[in-house]
Amino acid sequence: MKVTALLPEDLIREVRKISGGRNITESIRIALEDYVSRQRLKKAMQKVKEKPLQFLDDFTAEKVRSKNREA
């Protein structure tokens, strides 16, 4: 998709430097993908915070290990 955007030059320089992209387009793509990934992770963490994971009463790490070895 072609997009026209007015962005501060110093911000673009920093994004290019940090992302290691070959050009502005690749650098912005890398930055946007990273942003989306972080936001998805943030939402997932919020869901776990609101409703923590519940383990079965008889859950043990040893049982999980033995199950994994069976597979």
Q: What's the predicted TM-score (pTM) here?
A: 0.72
User: How distant, in Å, are the alpha carbons of 46, 55, 59 from that of 50?
Assistant: 6, 16, 22
Task: Give me the sign of the Cα torsion angle 27, 29, 32, 38.
Answer: negative
21 Cβ contact partners less than 8 Å away, ≥ 6 residues apart? 15, 27, 28, 29, 30
Q: 27: how many CB neighbours lie within 10 A of its CB?
A: 20
Q: In angstroms, rounded to a whole number, what is the distance separating the alpha carbons of residues 56 and 47?
A: 20
- Sequence spans of domains, the chain: 9-70
29-68 pLDDT tens trace: 999 999 999 999 999 999 999 999 888 888 899 988 998 9
